[in-house]
A and B are shown apart, each in its own frame.
Chain A
Amino acid sequence: MTVTADVRQKRPHRRSIGKDLMRNPWLYLMMIPGLVYFAVFKYLPMWGIIIGFENYVPFTGPIKSAYVGLYWFKQFFSTPMWLTYLGNTLLLSLMSIVLTFPAPIVLALMLNEIRNMHFKKISQTLLYMPHFISIVIVVSITYVIFGADGIIYKLTQKMLGRSIDYLGDPGVFRWMIVGQSIWKETGWGTIIFLAALTNVDTQLYEASMIDGANRAQRLWHITLPSIRSTIVLLLVLRMGSVLDTGYEHLILMSNSLNRSVSLTLDVFVYQNGIKGGQYSYTTAVGLMKSLVSVCMVVTSNKIAHALGEEGLY
């Protein structure tokens, strides 16, 4: 009896921070570098968004520049172009969620089924490699093999009897972008799922094998449910950056024929902000994008909770 009482005393449900600090001073000390990092590199720069509400002139500085309220937001929505930018961003994001996100899961499951360890290790290494290739190189390779003199261009021309303008056709553009992303990042994306797969209890497999479950059934009833929470967690995280289409990939792949579909919010911010020097205007647009992203994370986390998953927080 006395023993259990002692345990209860040692592990109360909630402790005040002060008490906890006294108990574990070293743990808190170790936290300091992390906290400083977030304060200096994540929270401090956030004050920069105030330039989205003023007419920022670098020489005058963010404090003295004139306050203009929501002027830049109104400017953006008063141009008929904003629908193009938002539409392109959402469509590309949707395609990347639907096509790019499941790809590493499928690949991880396939790798998990490989029994020859030697083959598995080699194929894993090969699959990770594209991640380390710069997107500039990926685009150059694409130009070489999909261009008018390229092997794939010629091959499809022979097979279909007509040529597909891979690099110019606006209808092909998004598929090329998503395809390149899948080729580059899928292998690297398997790492987390493979780690989750190692945690699946092997006894479950043994039991199901005795019950006569085949491979597909084991996959569906054991493997996938076991990594479900990891998948949901990563999907919620992914929602936060879903509107980040990036600009260098799109700018590298765009030309006069397909530019209309390559114009996303990120491209807009780059072209007008970094290149055009309109810091206030593009900060406002970027801020708007971030707000949408925050909403998406909160909503998808709510949905995850509703489905009985732990979610992000």
Chain B
Amino acid sequence: MKKLVSLVLALIMALSLASFVSAENEEITLKVMLPDFNSDKDWVTLEDGNPVLQHIYEATGVKLDIQWVADSAYGEMTSLTVADPANMPEVMVMQGVRDAIMISTARAGAFWDLTDYIYDAEEYPNLAAGSKSTYDNIAIDGRLYGVYRSRAYARAGIYYRSDYAEEAGITEVPTNVEEFKELCFALAALDPDMYVINMCKYVAGTIGITTVMMGAPYQYGVDEDGTIYPAFEDPAFQEGLDFLRELYEAGGIDPNFMTIESGSWNDAERSTPPKAIMRLDCLDNGYRYQEWLETNMGADPENPIVALVTALPNDEGDIQIWPQNIGASGEVCVCKTVSEEKLPAVLKFLDWCSSEDGTTTLNCGVEGCTYWIHSDGYRYTYPEGEDANKDQYTLYTNTVLHSLNQLGMNVHGDLSPKAASTILRNWYNNNLIENAQYVISNPCYTLDSETNVLMGATINQTVEDAQVQYIAGKIDLDGLKAVYADWHTQGGDKILAEYQEAYDAIH
């Protein structure tokens, strides 16, 4: 292992001696604060010869000085960091694009207003190529204070074990919501000891995917008169809850789902025999489930036994997909610690990060050092013929690549070389693009409501709890309606009024 690392390092140093910084880029040092998902692993700095940082330096002239903050503590660290304006980093990731800390800090002037730069296709072609609607989603008071970190939109869907479905006599994947319901009840009748939908404490996804699929809006809806109403008052939302409640009564959902931590969500499906065989969630978990079955249960990679389904037309024939996110996961902001003279250089660097070279470097590192293209044309994390030493290469990669992908904005997608793929992964990637058109959004997402900031989370939690109780048969429809009525009196009406005012102002 040591030999290997030193060999690679020696190679890189020899390469770097021969190379030179391209003349057009001015040389700058950049202090960056990033969330760290590898905080238990070492980090090699540029001075210590990190080949990835060295590559970035050669390509852009930027010497990265990275301050890693463990992801679990990043939220708290963010407030501490912005509370000390003189010592803020120059570029930092803000994880919430519309939470209280982001909005108040941006309004207080901690970040550069990038609105006039980002759309400048001459200077920053990559940033300007980003999605206008996602940029709108992260704007505060109509101004952009960062570049969004792109995330796939259409990830939500249904995955289930097709081998059990065949046992229940259903060989075809459902093609509409009605068939999906039939499938669920057929699976529920299959085995009294096995549940159908795998649910846990985190219910927003399951309830959201079900109700949106059936035609309900996401969080808030706008009716024909332009009036804003909460999603739970849509008849389609109630249809979704009723379906889950019926399935619960039919023994299709674990009666203790609300006490299962989200960290143990996989357990029910990854046990032998499985305790639950379907899940409404991000579909990337579906192909990971298939891969788990291949590794641990000897499933055949050529004939997947996990079926992925999404974009089902409902009774009206409409297709709707639950938005797993807003097309972004946080944003990369430039702090005022950067001088006005330095700003263009910093933006040039951020622009590079979304280029083909940039996305490849931040996501995969440097070829021949942290990734290799094998003779089949795909990207691997180890050299050809080194399968046995995979883990050692990963270990090394972690120390030089660490969580650099957190800086990756990928505004026009991940452009790095393709990794070898499975049937389900291919299906997933193709469908992501095709289904983006069906993803709905929350019409109030970019609107301001002071009451929502103050107490939205609290009263929405009460409503969600009541929905869980309704599904589990602890309260009836009247009980649920009473909680909805409480939502209105405890601040919901004020939130609706504030949203309505903001909505009417722009429509």
Contacts and interface: CB of A to CB of B under 8 A. Distances in A.
Contacts of B85: 59, 61
B310 to A, nearest CB: 26
B76 interface: yes
A274 interface: yes
A11 to B, nearest CB: 53
B79 A58 contact: yes
B79 A277 contact: yes
A271 interface: yes
B100 A259 contact: no
B18 interface: no
B455 A260 contact: no
Given A274-B76, A278-B453, A148 B256 contact: yes
B458 interface: yes
Interface in A244-263: 255-257, 259-260
B100 A278 contact: yes
Given A148-B255, A255-B258, A259-B465, A59 B109 contact: yes
Given A59-B108, A80-B489, A274-B76, A259 B461 contact: yes
Given A257-B472, A274-B76, A59 B82 contact: yes
A58 B490 contact: no
B404 to A, nearest CB: 27
A70 B99 CA distance: 24
A256 B258 contact: yes
A237 interface: no
A59 B105 contact: yes
Nearest to B107: A57
B203 interface: yes
State the main secondary structure of chain A at its contact with B: loop
A168 B256 CA distance: 9
Contact of A271 (B75, B259, B457): B457
B83 interface: yes
Contacts of A260: 462, 465
B105 A57 contact: yes
A45 interface: no
Nearest to A275: B75
| Chain A interface extent, by class | 20 to 34
A196 to B, nearest CB: 41
A81 B465 contact: no
B82 A281 contact: no
A271 B83 contact: no
A51 to B, nearest CB: 11
A58 B458 contact: no
Interface string B190-225: 000000000001010000000000000000000000
Contacts of B490: 79-81
B491 interface: yes
Nearest to A278: B100
A152 to B, nearest CB: 15
A257 B258 contact: yes
Nearest to B455: A79
Nearest to A64: B108
B101 interface: yes
Interface in A213-264: 255-257, 259-260
Interface in A5-52: none
A57 B105 CA distance: 7
Nearest to B474: A257
Given A75-B454, A275-B75, A256 B469 contact: yes
A166 to B, nearest CB: 10
A276 interface: yes
A257 B83 contact: no
Contacts of B459: 81
B312 to A, nearest CB: 27
Contact of B259 (A61, A80, A143): A143
Interface string B293-319: 000000000000000000000000000
Contacts of A275: 75
Contacts of B489: 80
B83 A255 contact: no
Given A59-B85, A278-B100, A255 B259 contact: yes
Contacts of B99: 276-277
Nearest to B111: A59
Centre residue among A148, A277, A278, A279 by max chain B CB count within 10 A: A277
A293 B256 CA distance: 38
Contact of A272 (B75, B201, B458): B458
A162 B236 CA distance: 36
B102 to A, nearest CB: 8
A75 B110 CA distance: 27
Contacts of A259: 461-462, 465
Given A257-B469, A278-B453, A81 B75 contact: no
Contacts of A277: 79, 99-101, 104
B341 to A, nearest CB: 22
B100 A58 contact: no
A286 interface: no
Contacts of B454: 75, 278, 281
Interface in B440-472: 453-455, 457-459, 461-462, 464-465, 468-469, 472
Contacts of A278: 100, 453-454
Contacts of B104: 57-59, 277
A59 B80 CA distance: 9
Contacts of B455: 79, 81
A147 interface: yes
A93 B116 CA distance: 56
B489 to A, nearest CB: 7
B208 to A, nearest CB: 15
A153 to B, nearest CB: 10
A312 interface: no
Nearest to A79: B455
A257 B464 CA distance: 10
Interface string A264-289: 00001001101111110100000000
A110 to B, nearest CB: 35
Contacts of B458: 81, 268, 271-272
Interface in A276-310: 276-279, 281
28 contacts: A57-B107, A58-B79, A58-B101, A58-B105, A59-B104, A59-B105, A59-B109, A60-B108, A61-B83, A79-B455, A81-B459, A81-B490, A143-B259, A147-B259, A148-B256, A255-B259, A256-B258, A257-B465, A257-B474, A259-B461, A259-B462, A260-B462, A260-B465, A271-B457, A276-B457, A277-B99, A278-B454, A279-B79
Interface of B: 75-76, 79-80, 82-83, 85, 99-101, 104-105, 107-110, 201, 203, 255-256, 258-259, 453-455, 457-459, 461-462, 464-465, 468-469, 472, 474, 489-491
- Counting from the closest, the 9 A-B pairs by CB-CB distance are A256-B468, A277-B100, A58-B83, A277-B101, A59-B108, A256-B465, A59-B110, A256-B258, A57-B104
Given A59-B82, A279-B79, 13 more contacts: A57-B104, A59-B85, A59-B104, A79-B491, A80-B490, A168-B258, A255-B258, A256-B258, A257-B465, A257-B469, A259-B462, A271-B458, A278-B453
